[in-house]
């Protein structure tokens, strides 16, 4: 049955709705912890493809194409996601997408017989998509099992994730010394093709690299400071440490790469942000105590808080903050004074406050500014 213009309009709107996309991503992540360990942007890429492909095939069956599905399965194999976990995520998103589509079609007045036929067509196509994802996964799995890269990646995962540690002989075969010290490296790069490009750059510093929990990760023999990075890449590097300490260091680097901006970051430079982020409940209580009188929906209040945060980030130097914000120093001073009138925060220059008071203020401001307006 060909899709009616009204049905096509409903399905197109659904495919373009970011709220629907977010719901499908969360459904997949909630049903599969292994999928949830991937960067959320990678989950979105996956769900976007499946949603748009299924809706495209439903409205125009002649456009059915399974090559991208096979490539997606191959990517997940390369990222180390178990096939059962991958399919749990796919099926959770598929079920929710069907439910949302039916609700929207009924609300738009699409006849029930058209809805039923559309859902059946979509089920047939998404079932075929799943089969091709599995096909791509198995093909990549077979190819990876024959490569040295896969052996090294598996060793990295064994070394950095909970489980049985590798033997000294396995470490030596991968080029690692059991009593050596290595720089743990974690990036936000999850696409296997882009990961290979970054891996080639990192190999100049020695060590072993591969996709761990969906991100290009590695152990560098020498500090990779100065490694060339694409403009949108984040890379966190920890100080050199012995192999037994690297599992916990890897956990910290993974948390840090979610907080970092683009570019190269030393893990220790993000120590404060990491420590504070690990206590979200305390951050919320502190924000309520210090900034409870501010309204997140008030643009002026957000302007005051952002100025105060920038002031703390620039060492509580008025002129430096003004230059960074492209404001006159008197404007910065006025905003700080107004904030002091509205809250218990006192951030004027040369007040002689304790370092920990500045930390509490920074934490509260950072947490509050993350509250939706």
Q: Mind listing the pLDDT tens digit for each residue in 258-283?
A: 989 899 999 999 998 898 888 889 98
What is residue 1's predicted lDDT score, i.e. its pLDDT? 45
- Which one-letter DSSP state was computed for residue 269? G
The tokens of 339 are what?
Answer: 């904030």
Taking the whole predicted model, whether its pTM rises above 0.75 is answered as no
Higher pLDDT, 104 or 54: 104
Under 8 Å CB-to-CB from 238, ≥6 apart: which residues?
183, 184, 185, 249, 252, 253, 266, 267, 268
- Kindly give, in sequence order, each residue whose CB lies less than 8 Å from that of residue 161, ignoring residues fewer than 6 positions away: 212, 213, 247, 250
What is the reported pLDDT for 145?
A: 64
Confidence (pLDDT) at 303: 95
Q: Hey, what are 265's tokens?
A: 């970051």
Give the relative orientation of helices 112-144 and 40-59 as an angle to the nearest 10 degrees. 130
Mean pLDDT of 190-196: 90
Domains and CATH numbers, the chain: 5-144 (1.10.490), 180-272 (3.30.70), 280-369 (1.10.10.2840)
Contact indicator for 227, 202 with CB cutoff of 8 Å: yes
Residue 100 has pLDDT above 80, yes or no: yes
- Rounded to an integer, the average pLDDT of 49-62 is 66
Gap between the Cα atoms of 16 and 22, Å rounded: 11
Provide the angle, in degrees to the nearest 10, between the axes of the packed helices 40-59 and 83-108. 50
Structure confidence at residue 142 (pLDDT): 78
Cβ atoms of 210 and 157 closer than 8 Å? yes
Average pLDDT estimate for 300-305:
95
Confidence tier at 115 by pLDDT (50, 70, 90): confident
Cβ pair 105, 28 in contact under 8 A: no
Given a cut of 60, whether residue 346 has pLDDT beyond it is yes
Position 331 pLDDT exceeds 50: yes
Q: Provide the CB-side half-sphere exposure for 161 (13 A, CA).
A: 14
Alpha-carbon dihedral of residues 202, 206, 210, 214, nearest 10 degrees?
Answer: -50
Q: Find which of 14-23, 53-62, 118-127, 218-227 is predicted with most confidence, using mean pLDDT.
A: 218-227
Query: Residues with Cβ < 8 Å from 80, sequence gap 6 or more?
Result: 153, 157, 211, 212, 213, 214
């Amino acid at each position: 049955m060909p899709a009616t213009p009204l049905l096509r309009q409903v399905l197109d709107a659904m495919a373009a709705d970011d709220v629907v996309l977010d719901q499908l991503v969360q459904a997949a992540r909630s049903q599969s912890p292994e999928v949830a360990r991937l960067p959320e942007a990678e989950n979105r890429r996956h769900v976007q493809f499946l949603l748009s492909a299924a809706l495209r095939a439903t409205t125009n069956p002649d456009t059915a194409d399974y090559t991208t599905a096979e490539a997606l399965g191959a990517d997940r194999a390369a990222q180390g996601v178990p096939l059962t976990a991958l399919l749990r995520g796919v099926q959770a998103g598929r079920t929710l997408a069907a439910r949302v589509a039916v609700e929207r079609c009924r609300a738009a007045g699409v006849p029930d017989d058209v809805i039923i036929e559309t859902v059946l067509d979509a089920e047939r196509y998404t079932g075929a998509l799943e089969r091709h994802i599995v096909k791509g996964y198995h093909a990549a799995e077979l190819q990876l099992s024959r490569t040295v890269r896969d052996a090294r990646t598996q060793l990295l995962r064994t070394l950095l994730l909970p489980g049985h540690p590798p033997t000294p002989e396995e470490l030596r075969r991968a080029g690692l010394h059991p009593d050596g010290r290595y720089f743990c490296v974690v990036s936000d790069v999850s696409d296997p093709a882009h990961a290979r490009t970054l891996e080639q750059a990192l190999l100049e510093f020695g060590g072993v690299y591969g996709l761990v929990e969906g991100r290009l990760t590695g152990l560098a023999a020498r500090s990779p400071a100065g490694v060339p990075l694409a403009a949108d890449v984040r890379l966190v590097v920890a100080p050199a440490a012995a192999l037994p300490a690297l599992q916990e260091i890897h956990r910290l680097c993974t948390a840090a790469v979610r907080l970092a901006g683009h570019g190269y970051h030393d893990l220790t430079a993000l120590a404060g942000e990491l420590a504070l982020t690990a206590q979200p409940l305390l951050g919320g209580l502190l924000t309520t105590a210090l900034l409870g009188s501010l309204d997140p929906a008030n643009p002026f209040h957000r302007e005051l808080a952002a100025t105060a945060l920038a002031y703390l980030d620039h060492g509580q130097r008025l002129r430096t903050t003004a230059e960074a914000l492209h404001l006159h120093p008197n404007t910065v001073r006025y905003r700080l004074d107004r904030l002091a009138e509205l809250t218990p925060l006192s951030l004027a220059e040369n007040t002689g406050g304790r370092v920990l008071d500045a930390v509490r203020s920074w934490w509260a401001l950072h947490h509050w500014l993350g509250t939706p307006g």
